[in-house]
A and B are shown apart, each in its own frame.
Chain A
Amino acid sequence: QKEVEQNSGPLSVPEGAIASLNCTYSDRGSQSFFWYRQYSGKSPELIMSIYSNGDKEDGRFTAQLNKASQYVSLLIRDSQPSDSATYLCAVNSFTGGGNKLTFGTGTQLKVEL
């Protein structure tokens, strides 16, 4: 059973602070990693993808990948109330049925004024 683990939260940060979201995965063969944002009652929205060890920055978002430790993280700088959502970590795996994403249960982020 391939697993993706996240702390469910809620993670509360003040406006303007850095929010740090973490994710671990069990499948050492995974090569593609994604962060999705999901607002309550809405579908997930892809915000970051990362494939190589190290950091990848896009605006206020930085994804970090460490394949040796099987660890992915997402940093959100200058957090805004509009960032309040559930963040889903997803890891690609290949099975007999083809490629598919395994999702963590998500971390709820609350950015407080």
Chain B
Amino acid sequence: GAVVSQHPSRVICKSGTSVKIECRSLDFQATTMFWYRQFPKKSLMLMATSNEGSKATYEQGVEKDKFLINHASLTLSTLTVTSAHPEDSSFYICSAGASGRYPYEQYFGPGTRLTVT
């Protein structure tokens, strides 16, 4: 149980284009989903928290207009990187938490490696 999928696993895009990343909880309903980014040899940095049906809460310093998050259902959240630039190249990882499971456990998707050329 507690399987989270993420798609695509790897994407290369040109500077100025937008990229959408999907995160799905496969065997449970995710009341809350989280989006992280991780630079090489660095720890996870929380970008935003989203609850199903409401606006995402962004961490300080994260541009909400650049990183659009939608959590339309209890099993799907999407992150869109708009007008991507090379500095947005990173490993993006989603996680999901569920009510009814042990409090505050988060289960991570396999991640999406974004390269902006």
Contact = CB atoms under 8 A, between A and B. Distances in A.
A42 B104 CA distance: 22
A26 B44 CA distance: 18
B109 A43 contact: yes
A43 B34 CA distance: 13
Contacts of B109: 43
B57 interface: yes
**Size band of the interface chain A makes with B:** 20 to 34
B57 A97 contact: yes
Interface in B15-54: 32, 34, 42-44, 46, 49, 51
B90 interface: no
Interface majority SS on A: helix, strand, loop or mixed? strand
A101 to B, nearest CB: 6
B103 A51 contact: yes
Which among B46, B49, B57, B104 has the greatest number of chain A C-beta atoms within 10 A?
Answer: B104
B91 to A, nearest CB: 8
Interface in A1-58: 31-32, 34, 36, 42-46, 49, 51
A99 B57 contact: no
A34 B105 contact: yes
A86 B72 CA distance: 33
A43 B110 CA distance: 5
Contacts of A36: 108
B42 A105 contact: yes
A32 B103 CA distance: 8
B115 interface: no
A88 B43 contact: yes
Interface of A: 31-32, 34, 36, 42-46, 49, 51, 88, 90, 92, 97-101, 103-106
14 contacts: A31-B103, A32-B104, A42-B111, A43-B93, A43-B108, A51-B102, A98-B49, A99-B104, A100-B46, A101-B34, A101-B46, A101-B106, A103-B44, A105-B42
For the complex of A and B, the 8 pairs showing the least CB-CB separation, nearest first, are A97-B57, A92-B104, A43-B111, A105-B43, A43-B108, A32-B104, A103-B44, A43-B93
